[in-house]
Amino acid sequence: MNKLNYKKIIYPGTLILIILVIVVVSFFTIRFLTTNINAAFDINESALEASTIKIDIESYKLAAKKLDIPYPAAVVPPTPPAEEEQ
């Protein structure tokens, strides 16, 4: 049997090391991408609630009464456009 020395196993060892590095880097890349994609599509309920505008209808009715604004507001029909004279 031939004796194995480091000169005969350097290329297979380097190849195995490179493949191992590629596998580990791929694992971290996939984990990074899935985490960020999930975070991009995650709905943050507390942020949505913080940005919503809440109107107290009772305060609105009181202000409308003081300003003599009819509540509920009357819907005014749109006026047709004026015809051009020629």
Categorize the per-residue pLDDT at 85 as very low, low, confident or very high, splitting at 50, 70 and 90: low
Report the alpha-carbon distance of residue 12 to residue 9 in Å, rounded. 6
Largest CA distance in the chain: 110
Looking at per-residue pLDDT, the higher value among 12 and 59 belongs to: 12
Report the alpha-carbon distance of residue 84 to residue 5 in Å, rounded. 99
E strand or H helix at 27: helix 6-40
Instruction: Write down the domain spans for the chain.
Output: 1-42
- Please report the pLDDT score of residue 35 as a whole number: 95
Cβ within 8 Å of residue 65, ≥6 positions away: 71
Its pTM stands at 0.47
- The model's pLDDT over 28-75, given as tens digits with 9 standing for 90+, comes to 999 999 999 998 888 777 777 777 777 777 887 888 888 888 777 667
* pLDDT tops 60 at residue 1: no
